[in-house]
Amino acid sequence: MNLDLAQARADTPGVNHVAHLNNAGASLAPKPVIDAMVSHLRLESEIGPYEAAERAQEAIERGHTAVGALLNCDSQEVALFDSASRAWTMALASVPLRAGDRVLISPMEYGSCYLSLLHLAKRHGVRLEVLPVDADGLVSVEELRGRLDERVKLIAMTHVPAHDGLVYPVALIGQVARQNGIPFLADACQSVGQMPIDVEEIGCDMLVGCGRKYLRGPRGTGFLFARREFAEQLTPAMFSLDGVEWAAGSYRFAPAARRFESWETNCAARIGLGVAIDYALAWGVEHTWPRIRQLAADLRAAITRIPGVTVLDRGQERCGTVAIIVRGWDAASVRAELQRAGINTWVCLENAACVDMQMRGLNSLLRVSVHYYNSSEELARLCSVLESLTLGRPMRVAAS
Ligand SMILES: *Cc1c(COP(=O)(O)O)cnc(C)c1O
């Protein structure tokens, strides 16, 4: 863990105000991201928004090339959106699916993705199949192989779910999908910026990511990677000016993933996303990831020693999310007590991962999610509040 923590914290103004352990929800942005966005907003107000966009053209386009550098793909294979859910539903709606076609998913899919699939099943007769999982919460590759036939038209799986520290071996899934020529859509919202991601290695045709979470980018940013050959077979479910090339009274779809993009965008947010990714690349995700994993492992070990607090995370490999329940306390009250002590966490309800939460009989849990800029001291403070809750003692921890 020889990462310059003092530098990471000096770059993050928010750490002076709060112990932020809600990075799976949205991280504290580093200073360069905040500065770039604020200065673009100011420029828009001073010289005009279109004119500011012309002047900042390079920084705006960096959004695409930075995602390309992060994921190991071409920048034309990247479409930017105002949320990852939008990116995901655009991908889903653009894959031609007809009544009787089968779509295979894991129980870990994010609420809004699962709901879109349910709706597709209801409205268009697509057959949605949730694959069974083992005690680690994982879909077995053999199980997946056994389910395949010519009616399977899409495999959609989450790399890291929103409510559990579990890391899915998506590259194994991708291998099976590729061998059988079945489109594979990976949801990397929780994993981009947290751990190294290479779309070639994963072998996915499409992958969706989120800007505000582990990438530490602005809210209202998400992206879709779509492999060129795959994307160019698709008709976007919706498109606008940027999605087409218009000439001599006729149009054709823009190359690769760009066909999915709309013209209007929040330029400051797009600039912020590019800067956030450049900032992450400067640290090196391969260098920050071991620290995240270690901090979370230390936290799980410390929490396990507190009687009455249970860690729910499964999986062979685990990441920065630590899901817990506290005996005698509902998750919302634990979160409120922690917030009073200056510690941010989040409550996951059933809709964070409808199928898995339901299968496990969980209607809520407390999600603690660490990033590399968090300190061991912050984690110790969290543990001492949890301990005092289980002992029913009045809180002595003051907000710093
Ligand atoms: C956050 C999240 C999403 C959705 O991202 P939005 O940008 O909020 O739409 C999808 N999948 C997973 C696993 C997530 O954690």
**39-68 tens-digit pLDDT:** 999 999 999 999 999 999 999 999 999 999
**Which pLDDT tens digit goes with each residue over 161-213?**
999 999 999 999 999 999 999 999 999 999 999 999 999 999 999 999 999 99
Q: How confident is the model at residue 398 (pLDDT cuts 50, 70, 90)?
A: very low
**Which pLDDT tens digit goes with each residue over 347-392?**
999 989 999 999 999 999 999 999 999 999 999 999 999 999 999 8
Query: Average pLDDT in the 221-242 region?
Result: 94
Measure 189 CA to ligand 1 centroid, in angstroms: 5
Measure 393 CA to ligand 1 centroid, in angstroms: 37
Q: What is the pTM of this model?
A: 0.96
Measure 109 CA to ligand 1 centroid, in angstroms: 10
Query: Average pLDDT in the 236-248 region?
Result: 88
> Which residues on neighbouring strands pair with residue 78, listed in sequence order?
225
Question: Residue 94, by phi and psi: left (phi above 0), alpha (psi -120 to 50) or beta?
Answer: alpha
State whether the beta carbon of 84 lies less than 6 angstroms from ligand 1.
yes
> Which residues on neighbouring strands pair with residue 127, listed in sequence order?
102
State whether the beta carbon of 83 lies less than 6 angstroms from ligand 1.
yes
Do residues 34 and 52 touch, judged by C-beta distance below 8 A?
Answer: no
Measure 185 CA to ligand 1 centroid, in angstroms: 14
Which of 96, 107, 121, 98 lies closest to 183 in space, CA to CA?
A: 96
